[in-house]
């Protein structure tokens, strides 16, 4: 069942990318990318796209960064600092309420 969900997610992702689809997570814009499995990368991207409020996005973002920092510590690596907050696009929604 899990493999089916992962396959469906990958297929949907591939279709969106080919169609010039929405934001795409990559090594260049995802903190801890190199420490994530391919399945985690797909799930991470889907989660980011699903957020409707800044608060829920920020909560996930902070937890994700803590998890990646812990993995980096355990493997003796150092994570580069993030360049931007992927939740920022939800700030406009917050201001318009």
In-domain check, residue 50: yes
Give the pLDDT confidence score for residue 15 in this predicted structure. Answer: 47
Query: Where residue 82 falls among pLDDT bands split at 50, 70, 90?
Result: low
16 lies in some domain: no
Confidence of residue 1 (pLDDT cuts 50, 70, 90): low
pLDDT digit string (tens) for 19-78?
455 657 777 778 899 999 999 999 999 998 899 999 999 999 999 999 999 999 999 998
In a domain, 18, yes or no: no
CA distance to 9, 10, 25, 44, per residue, from 17 (Å): 12, 10, 11, 16
Domain-embedded: residue 66? yes
48 occurs within a structural domain: yes
Structural domain of 57: 41-76+84-97
| Structural domain includes residue 31 | no
**Residue 45 belongs to a domain:** yes
- The CA distance from 89 to 22, in Å, is 13
Q: What's the pLDDT score for residue 16?
A: 45
The predicted pLDDT at position 87 comes to 87
**Looking at the 3D structure of the chain, how many domains does it have?**
1
Q: Is residue 36 part of a domain?
A: no
Please give, one letter per residue, the 3-state secondary structure of the chain. CHHHHHHHHHHHHHHHHHCCCCCCCCCCCCCCHHHCCHHHHHHHHHHHHHCCCHHHHHHHHHHHHHHHHHHHHHHCCCCCCCCCCCCHHHHHHHHCC
Compute the C-alpha angle 67/69/71, nearest 5°.
70
């Amino acid at each position: 069942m899990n493999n089916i969900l992962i396959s469906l997610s990958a297929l949907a992702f591939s279709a969106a990318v080919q169609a010039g689809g929405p934001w795409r997570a990559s090594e260049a814009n995802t903190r801890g990318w190199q420490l994530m499995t391919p399945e985690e990368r797909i799930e991470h991207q889907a989660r980011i796209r699903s957020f409707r409020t800044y608060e829920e996005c920020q909560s996930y973002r902070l937890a994700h960064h803590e998890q990646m920092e812990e993995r980096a510590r355990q493997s003796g690596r150092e994570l580069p600092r993030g360049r931007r907050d992927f939740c920022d696009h939800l700030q406009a929604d917050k201001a318009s309420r």
